[in-house]
């Protein structure tokens, strides 16, 4: 195969990359020859792979000897990106010389495995949102995130632009670190793991799926829960029934009255820290698809921990303001509110996240970790430095990429911002991060409390957030005294009102703007009657 690849390289060199002669790069060069075959969605077709990578700081030429070669299977991957974008993402499987058996190999210095992804990063014109997110997550969390390397790609003699070589999500000691369950593992500890599951679109998926019995979103949708691994042909019926019951039992515990109990509640089923980290990441980048699409979780065997772990993280091109629907371009607002912002969307946020945030201890842990991260790896300076350094690395290659794919200054669905230059795109990304973190710093204080109190069916308060007067309404089932008190987030009193002997019926009062005497910020409003008390958060802008 080495001779065939060298001949192929000579034939394609030099390549005309839309007005530029492509002969060399300061990035690794990936060359694919499909042997005359046509790449399709499924199944994979046989091809030859060659990578030219002479090492850090050295130039890579198409005529150089390949540092890596392999027979492989290749197919298109992705849903929207494959259907609608001309720059296609690919899934590849390294194989032995027969082209039949998969073989694990190290690619571009990453741990050996057989399955890899070539991410096209087409509608993110910075080319950075995916790698920024994986890099940040690897710094903030102990849980796995895909490794990556940038490259320039040539397919059958055609220059295809900048791609990101990434690890595909798989069970492996260097990837998702859980047991690769065999089809014969149907009893005892063996049947309890490991499984990779996801909440995602089912179109084109070959996964076995069941409907959650617990409705989610404003439309009460019973979401599809898919088993990503094992594949359907490798999944025994006993395994399907086991993991379906385990996840359903978790949902039942979360939906039940004792959901916050440390032994009987959701913590008996899940790795709590993984959910905290996943939530923080999703909110920092405000992933418009967060929680509801490409939302992976996994379970190891009971003997090795055995709880549901949220992740691994995946698919971050529509983040940091790069989506013009459902408030995806705004730096304000919580991503977990997606189903309330876009109630008609078919892909709802699982009820899990609202319910978790009704446990104020869970919400407190989210806030504490967020605040700790803000002092270390989660600063506009650190994230901006990654953007700038990566943009510098891509300086030469992106000129060819955008000559091939002239998207700068052009709307590509669903861009939330269209810059006239590449620099405008990266400037927007950095500015958005700064604004997002500033917004989160203010609004993280009532985080969870807003959700915990959202279930109160009678007490209404509005407008909220507000800048002027605020009207409160509370049905009174019997005559009672009513006391309303305002405190700040530290519990310090701000204002109070007392109305004795209020009649049965609708109690309605307007709190003047002057009651909120400490200015913009977060207040807790508490109403006390003879039957008890209830509270809500007011955000003043």
Residue ranges of domains in the chain: 2-167, 188-374, 456-540
Cα separation of 268 and 131, whole Å?
Answer: 33
Pull the structure tokens for residue 141: 């969390």
Q: CB count, 10 Å around CB of 11?
A: 9
Helix boundaries (H) for 286-377: 338-341, 352-357, 360-374
List, in sequence order, every residue forming a beta bridge with 25; answer none if it has no partner: 60
Q: Which residues of the chain have pLDDT under 50?
A: 2-3, 5-13, 453, 455-456
Q: CB count, 10 Å around CB of 328?
A: 23
Contact 218, 340 (CB under 8 A): yes
Indicate the CATH number for domain 456-540.
2.60.40.2550
Contact 118, 92 (CB under 8 A): yes
Please name the residues in contact with 245: beta carbons below 8 A apart, sequence gap of 6 or more.
Answer: none
Cα distances (angstroms) measured from residue 342 to each of 353, 465, 506: 16, 19, 31
Please name the residues in contact with 70: beta carbons below 8 A apart, sequence gap of 6 or more.
Answer: 48, 49, 94, 95, 103, 105
Please name the residues in contact with 487: beta carbons below 8 A apart, sequence gap of 6 or more.
Answer: 493, 494, 523, 524, 526
Report the chain's C-alpha Rg in angstroms: 27
Task: Give the closest residue to 163 by CA, choosing from 172, 171, 173, 155.
Answer: 155
Pull the structure tokens for residue 399: 């000129």
Cα separation of 22 and 404, whole Å?
Answer: 11
> pTM (2 decimals)?
0.84
Task: Give the closest residue to 235 by CA, choosing from 213, 270, 217, 209.
Answer: 209
Cα separation of 267 and 265, whole Å?
Answer: 6
Cα separation of 331 and 470, whole Å?
Answer: 25
Pull the structure tokens for residue 335: 């991503």
List, in sequence order, every residue forming a beta bridge with 330; answer none if it has no partner: none
Contact 16, 22 (CB under 8 A): yes
Contact 312, 178 (CB under 8 A): no
Pull the structure tokens for residue 35: 């042997």
Contact 211, 224 (CB under 8 A): yes
Q: CB count, 10 Å around CB of 413?
A: 12
Q: Which helix (H) or strand (E) holds 507?
A: strand 505-511
Coil, strand or helix at 346: coil
Cα separation of 426 and 432, whole Å?
Answer: 10
Q: CB count, 10 Å around CB of 532?
A: 7
Coil, strand or helix at 469: coil
Enumerate helices (H) and strands (E) in the chain, giving the number of each. Answer: 12, 25
Instruction: Output 306-310 pairs: Cβ under 8 A, ≥24 positions apart.
Output: 306/192, 306/193, 307/269, 307/270, 307/271, 308/246, 308/247, 308/250, 308/269, 308/270, 308/271, 309/143, 309/270, 309/271, 309/274, 310/270, 310/271, 310/274, 310/275, 310/277, 310/278
């Amino acid at each position: 195969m080495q001779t065939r690849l060298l001949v192929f390289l000579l034939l394609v060199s030099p390549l005309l990359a839309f007005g530029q002669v492509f002969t060399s790069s300061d990035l690794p060069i990936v060359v694919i020859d499909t042997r005359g075959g046509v790449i399709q969605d499924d199944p994979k077709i046989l091809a030859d792979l060659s990578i030219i990578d002479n090492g850090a700081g050295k130039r890579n030429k198409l005529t150089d000897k390949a540092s890596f070669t392999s027979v492989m299977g290749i197919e298109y991957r992705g849903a929207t990106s494959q259907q609608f974008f001309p720059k296609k993402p690919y899934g590849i499987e390294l194989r032995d010389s027969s082209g039949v058996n998969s073989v694990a190999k190290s690619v571009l210095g990453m741990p050996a495995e057989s399955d890899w992804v070539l991410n096209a990063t087409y509608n993110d014109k910075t080319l950075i949102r995916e790698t920024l997110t994986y890099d940040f997550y690897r710094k903030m969390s102990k849980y796995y995130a895909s490794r990556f390397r940038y490259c320039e790609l040539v397919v059958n003699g055609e220059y295809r632009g900048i791609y990101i070589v990434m690890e595909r999500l798989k069970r492996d000691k260097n990837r998702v670190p859980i047991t690769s369950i065999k089809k014969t593992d149907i009893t005892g500890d063996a049947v309890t793991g490991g499984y990779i599951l996801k909440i995602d679109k089912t179109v084109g998926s070959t996964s076995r799926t069941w409907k959650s019995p617990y409705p989610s979103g404003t439309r009460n949708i019973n979401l599809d829960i898919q088993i990503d691994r094992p594949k359907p042909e490798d999944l025994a019926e006993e395994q399907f029934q086991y993991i379906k019951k385990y996840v359903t039992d978790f949902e039942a515990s979360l939906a039940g009255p004792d959901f916050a109990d440390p032994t009987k509640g959701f913590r008996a089923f899940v790795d709590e820290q993984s959910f905290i980290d996943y939530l923080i990441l999703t909110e920092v980048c405000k992933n418009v698809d967060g929680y509801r699409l490409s939302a992976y979780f996994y379970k190891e065997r009971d003997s090795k921990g055995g709880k549901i772990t949220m992740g691994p993280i995946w698919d971050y091109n529509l983040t940091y303001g790069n989506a013009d629907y459902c408030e995806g371009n705004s730096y304000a607002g919580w991503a977990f509110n997606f189903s309330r912002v876009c109630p008609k969307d078919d892909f709802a946020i699982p009820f899990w996240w609202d319910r978790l945030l009704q446990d104020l201890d869970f919400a407190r842990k989210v806030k504490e970790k967020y605040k700790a991260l803000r002092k270390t790896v989660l600063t506009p300076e650190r994230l901006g430095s990654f953007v700038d350094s990566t943009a510098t690395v891509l300086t030469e290659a992106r000129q060819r990429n955008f000559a091939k794919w002239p998207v700068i200054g052009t709307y590509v669905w669903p861009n939330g911002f269209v810059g006239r230059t590449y620099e405008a795109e990266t400037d927007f990304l950095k500015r958005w991060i700064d604004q997002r973190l500033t917004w989160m710093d203010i609004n993280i204080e009532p985080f969870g409390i807003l959700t915990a109190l959202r279930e109160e069916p009678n007490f209404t308060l509005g407008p909220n957030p507000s800048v002027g007067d605020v009207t409160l309404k509370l049905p009174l089932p019997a005559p009672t005294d009513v006391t309303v008190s305002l405190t700040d987030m530290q519990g310090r009193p701000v204002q109070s009102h007392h109305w004795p002997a209020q009649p049965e019926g609708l109690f309605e009062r307007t709190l003047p703007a002057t009651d909120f005497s400490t200015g913009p910020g977060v207040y807790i409003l508490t109403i006390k009657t003879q039957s008890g008390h209830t509270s809500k958060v007011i955000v003043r802008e």
